[in-house]
Amino acid sequence: MIPPKTFGIWGNTEKDSFWETLPEILSWANDKGITAHLTTRILDHERCTIQECPSIQSKDEIGALDFMLVLGGDGTFLSLARAMEHRQTPILGIHLGDLGFLAKVTKKDLFHRLNQVATGAFILEKRLLAKATIQKNGDSIRHVGLNDFVLSNGESHRMLSATVKVNQHLVANYRADGLIVATPTGSTAYSLSAGGPIVTPAVDSLIITPTSAHSLTSRPLVVPADSKIVLSFPEIHDTILFIADGQIHESLDPTCTVEITKSDYKINLIDFEDCDYFQTLRTKMGWGQRGDG
């Protein structure tokens, strides 16, 4: 890859570790002759004492940078992925805690990986996003998600009834605590905890997973990414809650419908030749390891 000349920083400004790490990264960038840009959220923060860095004031300015550095956890990464929309600026995630699935570089490896990026010694991995179109009171509301969309009854003690169709074919009338529609990226998140499969990022697909289904025959379903999934709600609910990536919330009523497809664009993640998805599974989740005893 071409060595970068500019990059932007997007971070979780509520973490002390962010403010501890930021000066070190700016010093590294200065030594490498790479111009760092900071979001206005960072520059306007009460703990920020930096004056000389150019600011990022729009999504188009993100699109003009050579890469984006995310300092935080997977949640911080998800917020940037949605904000970027169709812009193809590569993203490198630095997890300020333990190893993450999206922010896969740890503080320990931070400058080793940044040095690789500075010399162009990295690869790009494309990740699919899902798009939801909600029909509500005659309006169309659109959201994108890198991980998943979750639907549940607004009253947690009541069951959600949802009819699911794929490409106009009836799949099932689900009765469950909720439904998750996940991307392969999101298959290791909430969908997995609800019993869904792990799907590697290279497999273009969408995963439909009921949560606490009220039928033993309701099982997770994997469909091609170019499928059109339509959810409707045949029974009366007080409120239906729609959540994108665990961060964006919409309140729906039973007259609403939700259409989910893959997005028209993918995002670029910075990766490295020696990174191993299955190693991350083993490290983060104890995947494939036998328990003690």
Catalytic (active-site) positions: 74
Give the residue among 47, 74, 66 at the shortest CA–CA distance from 9. Answer: 66
Cα distance between residue 179 and residue 242, in whole Å: 10
Phi/psi at 2 (nearest 5 deg)? -75, 130
Task: Work out the number of other CB atoms within 10 angstroms of the CB of residue 133.
Answer: 15
The helix or strand, by DSSP H or E, that contains position 200, with its residue range, turns out to be none
Cα distance between residue 265 and residue 85, in whole Å: 8
**CA angle at residue 49 from 47 to 55, to 5 degrees?**
100
Cα distance between residue 155 and residue 241, in whole Å: 9
Give the SS3 label for residue 238: coil
Cα distance between residue 120 and residue 205, in whole Å: 30
The helix or strand, by DSSP H or E, that contains position 83, with its residue range, turns out to be helix 74-84
